[in-house]
Structure 1
Amino acid sequence: MTTYYLAVDIGASSGRHILGWLEEGKIVLEEVHRFSNELSKKDGELCWDVPYLFGEIKKGLKKCKEIGKIPTYMGIDTWGVDFVLLDEKDQILGNTVGYRDDRTKGMEEFVYQVMDEKDLYARTGIQKQPFNSIYQMMAIKQKHPEYLERAKDFLLIPDYFNFLLTGKKSVEYTNATTTQLVSPITNQWDYELISSLGYPKEIFKELRTSGDVLGPVTEEIRKEIGFDLTVMLPATHDTGSAVLSVPSNEEQTLYISSGTWSLMGIEQRKADCSEESRLANLTNEGGFDYRFRYLKNIMGLWMIQSVKKEYHDEYSFAKLCEMASECNEFPSRVDVNADCFLAPESMIQSIKKYCEGTNQKVPQTPGEIATVIYQSLAECYGKTVEELEKLSQYQYDSIHIVGGGCNAQYLNELTAKATGKTVYAGPTEATAIGNILAQMLGTKIFDSVSLAREAVFESFEIMKFKA
């Protein structure tokens, strides 16, 4: 009898339910449900529609039954840093504000009054991002202190959905590290840091690790979806899941998890919290089995996604790649990590304004806009490789690109050229695969991460682009 594993992978722009199982030693995937996800304004804040997302989770579960492929286990992963605070009645306090909201503007000043930026990095190993949970919590403390006074639980987004499914409150380690409130030494909450910032430490529950069984769904959920189901903890941070699926067992592997964000890095067993690492703006996020994802957060395909939307989806991503390649010689470049590209009203106008403000040729056509984005991304990848090689003291021969962005052939070609590395692209559904792998590792289908990654290599097509 086939055992089905379900990955519920919710990104910052869409979500999907993907079933996975083994056939003759190979991993087979089937997408069951897909839905949109986006921030919307509520009370002047950019917020996630959590009730809608949970409704889509249950809708996808019901579809599994409709097609006769009922999962025994399921796991949920999402983006990082965002969270809910629950009161004594398990109700959400305030809005579920998203990381692109500007409520954290200026909050680092309050954090640095307690601990300066250098010491904070040395203590947590997490790069400064204005939207990290540490700054979001400070925004709540400054603007809505009553929420902290009433809060009983802090749950990241996937942990909240797990609570709604099982009635059990837990926080998974990989996503928790994105808060900038976890110690890379103990792999647990840094309660001393939390208390010094004036956050109630009792709301931060002990961390659980990916591969753990959380428990069965509640009787209410079981009746609603029509079958028994056990919830497991994958790497609930989507990048943590994606990196687990990188199809390489080389001791030193360079990867890009390419989606809304581009996460470029390596895996290490020990966090690098050095000053050199901080100045390079690299981060040490938690990975499966307490590995560290030593990487840089790069703006990624958010820019091209926004441009595509502004053109009212007139052009597919493939078409934008094609038009960009036709404008390959267009000279202008932008800093893809500049704050002006985080949540602009118009990405197109922001790119034009940036080029104008830096005395560069201003792109006009969709192809020119697209090539500026893709070329700038590739150049950023090239610079990041140099930083990683310097800090890790290792020269890499290749880069593995996983996730939806690995389908952008033009960007893959540019990346190979900009880095001088051979690029291996695939698999596309890396996050869902990694989610499923964690469940399979937790249930001993695979005895080791190396065997799980070998199965990925054997099961999915990997494209090669030479430098």
Structure 2
Amino acid sequence: MKTYLAVDIGASSGRHILGWLADGKMQLAEVYRFRNGAEHRNGHLCWDADGLKNHVLEGLRACAEHVAPEQETPVSVAIDTWGVDFVLLDEAMNRIGDAVAYRDGRTAGVPEKLEAVLPFAELYARTGIQQQVYNTVYQLWALRQEAPEQLERAAHFLMMPDYLGFVLSGVCANEYTIASTSALLNAREKTWDTEILRRIGVPARIFHPVRMAGEALGRLTPDVQSSVGFDTLVRLAPAHDTASAFLAVPARDENAVFLSSGTWSLIGVENPEPITTAESRAQNFTSEGGYQYRYRYLKNIMGLWMLQNIRRELGQTRFDFEMLAWLARSAADYPGRVDVNDGRFLAPENMQEAVRVVLRENGFTEKPTAAQTLSCVYHSLAESYAEAVRGLEKITGKTFTSLNIVGGGSQDAYLNQLTADVTGLPVYAGPTEGTAIGNLAVQMIADGALRDVQHARDVIRASFPIRVFTPREKE
């Protein structure tokens, strides 16, 4: 029986998930899980690139031990991660500097400084990527100001999943969906935009030709084979986790909104062409690249990051996410709301206090309880989803009939019900492991086990439970 391995790494955790087809359904087995997170080093908030590399290899070793006697070792492996972050390699293939994380403060004020050199209106018209202070274009400009010698030494620019794919295969490549998150890729040409690179002073020579998910990088290197105990083919996944997650949405019709719900909430639709109009720019929608050159037209919303931080502050051992929802429900009448995309929520020292500061600015002078703070976050998230749906309808001219949630947030019944209530749309929640499922689906398509995207979505719909939340009547 053929198996395939998805390495799915998010900002807070990573997992190795083995997938296979049996009786027309996709089966999953988690074989390895690990924590991820940024840490302070050398004055910046950075990813532990060596730790990630070691976890990827350890997960492959665990996979070899997990495979059942009737199963083959994985036909292929592919890696997806979050977007925008990168590493640089020199000619000898050694890493240069640290893998600075997108939540680091080095890009504070950079969009405003870059406006004179590269106005955002022009950047958006070329790339279709919404303005976020952590976009790769701003990270590279900040690096050029702080440590230009790193760019001078660089021979290869690799985004995080590109780098981990290199660790396994020894091949440097830039995958399309992850490259599109950088605001360096021309949306229509689907290639690195050399004019943007010239304006920000970054050498075009360090970028590789953009390649499509499903393509093979090569076999595991001899050293990796020796380390993990088997050989397999390394493929390119839709390397941006949202691109993989969107593939796993078992949408019932073309008028469905997709929501990938995790640390970030990515809400949008699939389009055949990018939208780079002034109206789209004003509403801060983004046209990121998808599998087979689909465009993921979406909005980035702060997402479960706010709840994850509050849970940690309250004490993770005492408060699971069900308890957070129970507390929020107990204060459901609290009227306070915040803009969840306020930059102060990106990397605060204390999330509850950051929410309270914004609430005070919004006229809620009495200090909220923990339950009221949670109620505010839950309702503010749901209302931001509803606002995004209204914006999507206005720009695309479509009327949407459902909202489909995949990812960890699909398990949050309280947030799902609030979302159904405020959007007025039925919410279809699941599958939970959407990102890994999309990653696996592309490997199966490339290997011929699935015919195409529609076949994959049909199989996914038949394979995993989907919970339905219908809008409740307003009292």
TM-score (norm 1): 0.98
Question: How big is each residue's C-alpha offset from its partner over 1:427-446, in whole Å with a ceiling of 9 and x where there is no partner?
Answer: 00000000000111111211
One-letter amino acid of the structure 2 residue matched with residue 287 of structure 1:
G
Equivalent in the alignment of 2:380: 376
One-letter amino acid of the structure 2 residue matched with residue 262 of structure 1:
S
Match of 2:277 among 259, 274, 282: 274
The answer to whether the Cα contact below 8 Å between 1:20 and 1:28 also exists between their aligned partners in 2 is yes
Equivalent in the alignment of 1:334: 338
Match of 1:292 among 287, 291, 295: 295
Equivalent in the alignment of 2:465: 461
Q: Does 1:45 align with 2:49?
A: no
TM-score (norm 2): 0.97
Equivalent in the alignment of 1:265: 268
Query: Which deviates the most, 58-67 or 353-362?
Result: 353-362
The answer to whether the Cα contact below 8 Å between 2:8 and 2:241 also exists between their aligned partners in 1 is yes
One-letter amino acid of the structure 2 residue matched with residue 394 of structure 1:
K
The answer to whether the Cα contact below 8 Å between 1:110 and 1:138 also exists between their aligned partners in 2 is no
Question: How big is each residue's C-alpha offset from its partner over 1:90-141, in whole Å with a ceiling of 9 and x where there is no partner?
Answer: 1221111000001011222343222211111111100000000000000011
Alignment of 1:166-177 (within 5 A): 166-177=169-180
Alignment of 1:360-439 (within 5 A): 360=364, 362=366, 364-439=368-443
Question: How big is each residue's C-alpha offset from its partner over 1:399-419, in whole Å with a ceiling of 9 and x where there is no partner?
Answer: 001100011101011001110
Equivalent in the alignment of 1:61: 60
> For residues 264 and 360 of structure 1, what CA distance do their matches in structure 2 show?
29
Query: Which deviates the most, 112-121 or 359-368?
Result: 359-368
Match of 2:455 among 442, 451, 454: 451
> For residues 324 and 441 of structure 2, what CA distance do their matches in structure 1 show?
33
The alignment partner of 2:328 has SS state of helix
Equivalent in the alignment of 1:346: 350
Pair 227,363 (structure 1): closer, same or farther in 2 beyond 3 Å: farther
Q: CA deviation at 1:362?
A: 4.5
Alignment of 1:75-90 (within 5 A): 75-90=78-93
Equivalent in the alignment of 1:24: 23
Q: CA deviation at 1:319?
A: 1.1
> For residues 241 and 228 of structure 1, what CA distance do their matches in structure 2 show?
24
Q: Does 1:138 align with 2:137?
A: no
The answer to whether the Cα contact below 8 Å between 1:5 and 1:439 also exists between their aligned partners in 2 is yes
Q: Does 1:115 align with 2:118?
A: yes
Q: Does 1:358 align with 2:357?
A: no
Query: Which deviates the most, 430-439 or 100-109?
Result: 100-109
Query: Which deviates the most, 248-257 or 311-320?
Result: 248-257
The alignment partner of 2:96 has SS state of coil
Segments of 5+ residues of structure 1 without an aligned counterpart are none
Give me the CA root mean square deviation.
1.0
The answer to whether the Cα contact below 8 Å between 2:255 and 2:401 also exists between their aligned partners in 1 is no
The alignment partner of 1:160 has SS state of helix
Q: CA deviation at 1:365?
A: 3.1
Equivalent in the alignment of 1:252: 255
One-letter amino acid of the structure 1 residue matched with residue 28 of structure 2:
L
Q: CA deviation at 1:361?
A: 5.2
The alignment partner of 1:185 has SS state of coil
The answer to whether the Cα contact below 8 Å between 1:286 and 1:292 also exists between their aligned partners in 2 is yes
Question: How big is each residue's C-alpha offset from its partner over 1:139-185, in whole Å with a ceiling of 9 and x where there is no partner?
Answer: 01111111111110100001001111111000100000000000111
The answer to whether the Cα contact below 8 Å between 2:255 and 2:402 also exists between their aligned partners in 1 is no
The alignment partner of 1:305 has SS state of helix
Question: How big is each residue's C-alpha offset from its partner over 1:337-363, in whole Å with a ceiling of 9 and x where there is no partner?
Answer: 000000000001111111112211545
The alignment partner of 1:254 has SS state of strand
The answer to whether the Cα contact below 8 Å between 1:152 and 1:202 also exists between their aligned partners in 2 is yes
Q: Does 1:151 align with 2:154?
A: yes
The alignment partner of 2:164 has SS state of helix
The answer to whether the Cα contact below 8 Å between 2:86 and 2:99 also exists between their aligned partners in 1 is yes
The answer to whether the Cα contact below 8 Å between 1:249 and 1:454 also exists between their aligned partners in 2 is no
Alignment of 1:119-268 (within 5 A): 119-268=122-271
